[in-house]
Amino acid sequence: MAARPAFDELWGASAGEEVRAGFEPLGEWLRETSAAELDRRQHAAEAAFRSLGITFNVYGEDEAAERIIPFDIIPRILSAGEWARLSAGLEQRVHAINAFVDDVYGARKILADGVVPADIVLGNEQFCVPVAGARPPHGVYAHICGIDLVRTGPDEFYVLEDNARTPSGVSYMIENREAMLRLCPELFERLAVRPVDTYPELLRDTLQSVAPDGAVQPRCVLLTPGHYNSAFYEHSFLANNMGIELVEGRDLEVDDDIVWMRTIDGRVRVDVIYRRIDDAFIDPLVFRPDSMLGVSGLMAAYLAGNVTLVNAPGTGIADDKAIYSYMPDIVRYYTGEEPRLPNVETWRCREPASLQYTLDHLDELVVKLVDGSGGYGMLVGPTASRAEIEAFRAALIAQPQRYIAQPTLALSTIPTITDKGIVPRHVDFRPFVLTGSSGVTTVPGGLTRVALREGSLVVNSSQGGGTKDSFVLDGERAATAGST
Amino acid sequence: MLSRTAANLYWIGRHMERAEFTTRLIEATIRLDSLLAQPKVEEAWKSALAVVGSAPDPSSEALGAFGGRRFLALSLDNPSSVKSCLSAARDNARAARNVLTQEIWEAINRAWLLIRDRASPGGTQSTLNMVEELKAETRGFEGALARMLRNEAYWFLRLGSLVERGDNTARLLDVKYFLLLPDGEQVGGLRDRDQWMTLLHVVSGRTAYRTIYRQALQPWLIADLLIFRKELPRSLAAAATETVAILAEFGDMSGLQGEADRLARRRLGRLEDGTIEELLAEGLHESLGRFMRENAALDAAIANQFRFA
């Protein structure tokens, strides 16, 4: 890995010699600010996150320890031009995702036309039989998508994953910016950065726009699994910032296919539910009967068109790793355009030739379970031990259809503060894309995740990753922007 | 407001109040215990346990001072222990975090962190130090409460405190009165005086007694203070008065009143019209028992009225 120098988001390929055009103010700031001062601010940021209680629980650790995600104060920057190209690509992709979901639960044209094999969709665990034929308002299913992107060069962005179920992390996008505004205000004088705190308002507008027909002043709520959930901070942050109720399953009841919330003044009708509970748990009558988190009868109310669920049940079919490799074809099929954001090259191990290639190159590839997430159930060939590789080989041969393989990408790096000083660390990027009745929008920013261990490519917060603020420059407001 | 949120706030109020009460009870019992000869020490802690209405496993017969302090402060088998109450309050607070002020949350969290890792009460002095720190944290909670916006969240927190306070004060008086005056005899020797001082200490009423009555300790006057005198914040009358006022605030907001309003007003009426002489004629134990039953009925009516039953 060390032999292949990765593209650096600040220094380009210059190996620390010359800052990329347009990003000079950040280079100057890093030069002018002493290491001790950077360190002081870094600690101040962590103290602020801790006292705000921005914590997450790591599954598998004792007592579900409340930890903060490490935050690094050196931001990632995207120029106005880079963002324009990215956001156009994101909007194209999310448009296609919604069209795809609408199609597979409706007319199934894409299957009939043989663009995606029918068995991969209809036989998929993520295909949600109960919602087939039920079309939500405006045909929108994936109202909120978090698209994971990686970068390998100046113009090489790839989609790594489409998160179309209940993507999390958007509260970090907003809180990271708050921390930066407080701790490094001078950066915002030197760089024209577009705001991200419009997100809660845009989200509330999105929720209201997809309410069932006839709902006057629709009542929206956020449904959380409760305060033991790892993302509870985010649930409560979003509910408060949107000014909507934060409810648990036991706060809701369904009566005659209508959803009600129990308040101290009696029952109040609910029109839109932004649910942060997985499909499998939302309604024990339809999905897992042992679920204590959901609401009995919720699916019946949804199918009757009396409540909108955000995201709709069944969107997992669009971000499934087995479907992923077909996404370029899916984008072409529904938009009639070439995909603006390419996929990472992917070998589907269900196909014998791809399986053979994968088995022959295990030490170079990243192998993923098609039904895994959070960085679990994954082999990173170049850094894996021989024993790990052999264990995966056996698993692959036993159940090849459960795996896909991708090349190890030289993910871009960003200078990051560590014990060893300021050093490059690999990053990815998750922007959040909203779809409402009037189309697709993306807040200019996102969550930059950084792999804090040297050489590591795993950025998941559950696996020791950290975060950074992501600056999108305003091309119109300042001369510093839009240089690429 | 969601009914579940209302329930969480109400229970924060109850648990924090009980944590403070138990803390003060430990402090007062240590004080009493230091004044007594050895065989009586056991009695002092037994009566403290009777006040909180829970006793340890009867098989562990000899509780003693150390066991008593441990059971009241730290035992998770005792739902009234300070640790149990603070743990429950923090759990409620986490679930209702989005309607709490930062200050309230921090006060609860700090109190919990103070006791979370304590496994032993240590020696008497060590327990007293812990009690001092706990009292400081619960005062911090009351201060944060006083600075809250007067809205539904505040009212539910206060209602919980008041219902709990009424129960605690009545129980305290009942147990001590019963123990001290088994046959209705007059208050006598030095030991009795110490017992009565203990009781006043728990309700922060020592100076109040002197200010109001200006005479030596008399059991019926102490009962009068704890039951009828609104000037004493921990008296039954003070709790009943504020309960009626808070329920009226809810009524003004929603235009609705219910069973809880009716029960609270009836109770207050009786406390305003009654005198200690009548009460003693009826029997103090019987009267306090009735008060506790009414308090429990009020608790149930509140849960019903705000739909968190």
The backbone region for A53, taken as left when phi is positive above 0, alpha when psi lies in -120 to 50, beta otherwise, is left
User: Does the pLDDT of residue A208 top 90, yes or no?
Assistant: yes
Alpha carbon separation from B5 to A58, A264, B138, B305 (Å, rounded): 26, 9, 22, 14
Q: Which among B1, B3, B117, B305 is the top mutation candidate for probing chain A, defined by the most A β-carbons within 10 Å of its own β-carbon?
A: B3
Is the pLDDT reported for residue A483 higher than 80?
Answer: no
CB nearest A264 (choices: B3, B95, B97): B3
Would you call A385 exposed, middle or buried from its count of C-beta atoms within 10 A (0-12, 13-18, 19+)?
Answer: exposed
pLDDT at A57 over 60: no
Would the pLDDT of B38 be above 70? no
| 3 state SS for A26-86 | HHHHHHHCCHHHHHHHHHHHHHHHHHHCCCEECCCCHHHCEECCCEEEEEEEECHHHHHHH
Question: Interface of chain A against chain B, CB under 8 Å?
Answer: 53, 226-227, 236, 239-240, 245-248, 250-251, 261-266
Cα A342 to the center of its chain, rounded Å: 17
Q: What residues form DSSP beta bridges with B90?
A: none
What is the rounded average pLDDT of the residues A405-434? 93
- Residues from chain B that touch A265, judged by Cβ atoms under 8 A, are 254, 256
pLDDT tens, residue by residue, B198-212? 888 888 888 999 999
Helix locations, A105-169, DSSP H: 109-112, 118-122
Share of chain A above pLDDT 90, in %: 73
Q: Which amino acid is at A193?
A: V
Which among B4, B256, B307 has CB closest to A250? B4
Residue A274, strand partner residues:
A222, A310
Confidence at residue A228, expressed as pLDDT on a 0 to 100 scale: 83
CA A303 distance to own-chain centroid: 27
Query: What's the CA gap between A218 and A222, in Å, rounded?
Result: 13
Distance (Å, whole) CA A460 – CA A165: 17
CA distance A171 to A174: 5
- Which has more confidence, A58 or B165? B165
User: What residues 254-293 of chain B have any CB closer than 8 A to a CB of chain A?
Assistant: 254, 256
Is residue A427 classed exposed, middle or buried when 0-12, 13-18 and 19+ CB atoms within 10 A define those classes? buried
**Residue A289 has what pLDDT?**
86
Element (H, E) at A89: helix A80-104
The predicted structure's pLDDT at residue A156: 94
Q: Are residues B2 and A261, on separate chains, in Cβ contact within 8 Å?
A: yes
Chain B interface, best mutation among A66, A264, A276, by max B CB count within 10 A: A264
Whether pLDDT at B103 is above 50: yes
A427 min Cα distance to partner chain B (Å): 32
**Residues A71, A176 contacting (CB under 8 angstroms):** yes
More confident residue, B37 or A296: A296
Work out the pLDDT band at A2, boundaries 50, 70, 90: very low
pLDDT-derived band of residue B88, with 50, 70 and 90 as boundaries? very high
> For residue B55, what pLDDT is reported?
65
Domain ranges in chain B are 1-148, 150-309
Measured torsion, CA atoms of residues B292, B296, B297, B302, in degrees rounded to the nearest 10? 130
Do residue A227 and residue B97 have CB atoms under 8 angstroms apart? yes
**Nearest-CA distance A168 → chain B (Å):** 19
Q: What is the pLDDT of residue A455?
A: 77
Angle at A414 between CA A413 and CA A416, to 5 degrees: 125
pLDDT tier for residue A462 given thresholds of 50, 70 and 90: low
In A54-90, which positions are buried (b, 16+ CB within 10 angstroms) versus exposed (e)?
A: bbbbbeeeeeeebebbbbbbbbbbbbbebbebbbebb
pLDDT at A92: 98
Mean of the pLDDT values across residues A130-141? Answer: 93
Contact, B209 vs B221, CB < 8 A? yes
SS3 call for A440: strand
Residues in chain B: 309
Are B4 and A265 inside 8 Å of each other by CB?
Answer: no
Q: DSSP labels for chain B? A: -BHHHHHHHHHHHHHHHHHHHHHHHHHHHHHHHHHS-HHHHHHHHHHHHHHHT----TTS---HHHHHHHHHHT-TT-TTSHHHHHHHHHHHHHHTGGGS-HHHHHHHHHHHHHHHT-----SHHHHHHHHHHHHHHHHHHHHHHHTS-SSHHHHHHHHHHHHHHHHHHHHHHHHHHHHH-TTSPPP-SHHHHHHHHHHHHHTT-HHHHHHHH-SS--HHHHHHHHHH-TTSTTSHHHHHHHHHHHHHHHHHHHS---HHHHHHHHHHHHHHH--HHHHHHH-HHHHHHHHHHHHHHHHHHHHHHTT--
- Contact between A283 and A299 (Cβ < 8 Å): yes
**Chain A closest-CA separation from residue B54 CA (Å):** 29
Tokens of B307: 């739909």
Q: CB-CB: which of B2, B105, B256 is closest to A251?
A: B2
Sequence spans of domains, chain A: 24-472
8 Å CB contact between B114 and B133: yes
> How far is it, in rounded angstroms, from Cα A453 to Cα A276?
30
Gyration radius (Cα) of chain B, Å = 19
The answer to whether B307 contacts A266, with C-beta atoms less than 8 Å apart, is yes
Closest-CA residue of chain B to A249:
B4
**Closest residue in chain B to residue A235, using alpha carbons only:** B98
pLDDT tens sequence across B43-81: 778 888 888 876 666 555 557 788 889 999 999 989 999
* Cα gap A88→A335, rounded to integer Å: 13
Find the mean pLDDT for residues A307-334.
95
Q: How far is CA A34 from CA A30, A53, A417, in A?
A: 8, 29, 12
Least confident of A45-59, A377-391, A445-459, B106-120: A45-59
CA distance A264 to chain B (A): 4
Q: Would you state the pLDDT for residue B34?
A: 80
Q: Specify the amino acid at residue A114.
A: G
Integer angstrom CA distances of residue B70 from A104, A432, B122: 64, 52, 9
Whether chain A has a CB inside 8 Å of the CB on B120: the answer is: no
Alpha-carbon gap: A265 to the closest alpha carbon of chain B (Å):
7
Nearest to A248 among B1, B4, B152 (CB): B4
- Taking a C-beta distance cutoff of 8 angstroms, is the pair A404, A324 a contact? yes
Strands, E assignment, A119-191: 144-153, 156-163
CB B141 within 8 A of CB B13: no
Q: Is the pLDDT of residue A212 over 90?
A: yes
**A12 alpha carbon, distance to own chain's centre:** 25
Lowest mean pLDDT among A397-401, A475-479, B130-134, B292-296: A475-479
Chain B residue with Cα closest to A263: B2
Which region, left, alpha or beta, applies to residue B214 given φ > 0 means left and ψ of -120 to 50 means alpha? left
How far out from the chain centre does Cα B143 lie? Answer: 18
The mean pLDDT of A402-406, rounded to a whole number, is: 91
Average pLDDT (B266-285) is 92
Q: Do A264 and B307 touch (CB under 8 A)?
A: yes
Residue A304 pLDDT greater than 80, yes or no? yes
Q: In whole angstroms, what is the distance from residue A87 CA to residue A80 CA?
A: 10
Chain B residue numbers with beta carbons less than 8 Å from the beta carbon of A226 are 95
What is the tens place of the pLDDT at every residue in B164-178?
999 999 988 888 777
Average pLDDT over residues A58-78: 71
**Predicted pLDDT of residue A374:** 53
Which residue type does B38 have? Q
Amino acid identity of residue A251, one-letter, is D
Give the strand pairing for A465-472 and A71-78: parallel
Contacts with A200 from chain B: Cβ below 8 Å? none
Q: Do A264 and B98 touch (CB under 8 A)?
A: no
Token output for A378: 């994954």
The answer to whether A262 contacts B2, with C-beta atoms less than 8 Å apart, is: yes
Contact check, Cβ <8 Å, A261/B254 = no
Residue A73 pLDDT > 50: yes
pTM of the predicted model as reported, rounded to 2 decimal places: 0.84
- Considering only CA atoms, which of A306, A328, A401 is closest in space to residue A116? A328
Count the Cβ atoms, other than its own, within 10 Å of residue A158.
Answer: 18
pLDDT at A405 over 70: yes
Q: Tell me the pLDDT tens digit for each residue of A226-264.
A: 988 888 889 999 999 999 999 999 999 999 999 999 999
Mean pLDDT of chain A: 90
Cβ proximity of B167 and B16 under 8 Å: no
- Residue B95's pLDDT band, with cuts at 50, 70 and 90, is confident
Is pLDDT of A484 > 80?
Answer: no
- Residue in chain A closest to B156 (alpha carbons) equals A264
Q: What are phi and psi of A424, to 5 degrees?
A: -70, 135
